[in-house]
Amino acid sequence: MTTNNEAIASRAEAVIPGGLLSPSRRLGSPIAFARAAGPYLYDADGARYTDYHCAFGANVLGHRHPAIAAAINEVAENLDLVGAGVLELEVEVAELLVKAIPCADQVAFCSSGSEATYHALRLARAYTGRKQIIKFQGGYHGWHDYVAMNGQSSRQMLGSFDPMSDGILFDAARYTKILPYNDATAVEDYIRANPGEVAAIIVEPIAHNMGAVIGRDQFLRDLRRISTDNGVILIFDEVITGFRHALGGYQSIVGITPDLATFGKAATSGYPIGLVAGRRDIMERVGRTGEGAVFMGGTFNGTPSSMAAVKATVQELSRPGVYERLFELGDYLRGQINGIIARHGLRAQAAGFGSVWLVYFFDGEFKDYADLLRNDNELDMRFRRALIAGRQIFQPLQLKRLYLSLSHDQSVLNDTLELIDTTMADLARSVAA
């Protein structure tokens, strides 16, 4: 008998390429979600799943948070998409963000994190009059040709151009230099060897796109110094770290202020948003026409529903103890997982920061993508598939980070930990066999 999940997946195959809106949404078996609430998802056959995917991290408050729903319903009574003039709601949200984000003299809105990084790089090139950008191996900054390369590269492709997609225009991509993460010396050496050529350095201050490789304080401080000394625009890509770890992004935690920063995902707790924040003398080019202007159009930029969601999310995340609670949950989960790993004698470790977590299947320290090539990808994938089979929603790709939301409490985590314990025991037996 065909299940509802299978029937919907079959229909999707006929009308959606690959049956999914992105290959990264594939879970390994047909699951069609029909409802979401708090930390849970429910499929078309009524089964309940605990969500550690959280829409790639967007749902920092949990699914269908009542404050977000109320804010969107309220604005919908008076406004829909206008696309002309200015809305007071846009101004209110921008004022909140300028107050919260250290680098933000001004903010400009778009609809996704990829759009935000695209616009930030265009701004940097316009401001400096230069072409080259520096990104780091293992980092992901969106789908566009400037940066869609050298993500989860094989060992053989390290140091080489490794595009993430067919159809990338090499004439655009060739201006991007890939360097190792946490290696400021490599950055300084490259800029000195190519004076006046580099427009921007774009970096995740925590490299969550390869799990949770934290940018060392000295590395980030050195990037700030190198950028200032050489007229390079320093861009923090805070699409994941922003709003999830702190309202002001990781820059407010580490105390290092970039020239520009990009945000998305958790800013609305589940609605489309992207934004670029930064220095006034750079950002004001977006508001011009004529010579020196940087075009940043988009019909859905500043959509009232998304603006209402940002405002409500900021208000909820500003409540006392919110971030302390997210960090407590993450620390508890990682601590318990490391205890399970030690008990079963596996070469693995729970890693992460705040409410972002994952399990690396190797031991020892790590500082860049090359270190992560020690990961036992087979065990990693077996772990993830077992958890998905146990109705825990993970991204089934090795090295990919997982998330908690404020709606995950300790009892939810304990249920998952029981399954993790059983799974780790099975993996340990297979390794020993």
Quick one: which of 33, 37, 35, 39 has its CA closest to 411?
Answer: 39
- Residue 398 gets the label, from left (phi > 0), alpha (psi -120 to 50) or beta, of beta
Cα separation, 62 vs 64, in Å, equals: 7
- N-term to C-term CA, the chain: 38
Catalytic residues: 140, 237, 265
**Treating both helix axes as pointing N-terminal to C-terminal, what angle do 88-100 and 304-317 enclose, rounded to 10 degrees?**
40
Residues 277 and 279: their CA atoms lie apart, in Å, by 7
Cβ neighbors of 207 (< 8 A, separation 6 or more) are 136, 138, 139, 181, 213, 214, 215, 369
Report d(CA 433, CA 427) in Å as an integer.
10
Give the span between the Cα atoms of 127 and 104, in whole angstroms.
17
**What CA–CA distance (Å, rounded) separates 258 from 103?**
6
Residues 6+ apart with CB under 8 A from 31: 5, 9, 43, 49
Contact 262, 274 (CB under 8 A): yes
- Please tell me the distance from the alpha carbon of residue 118 to that of residue 164, in angstroms, as a whole number: 16
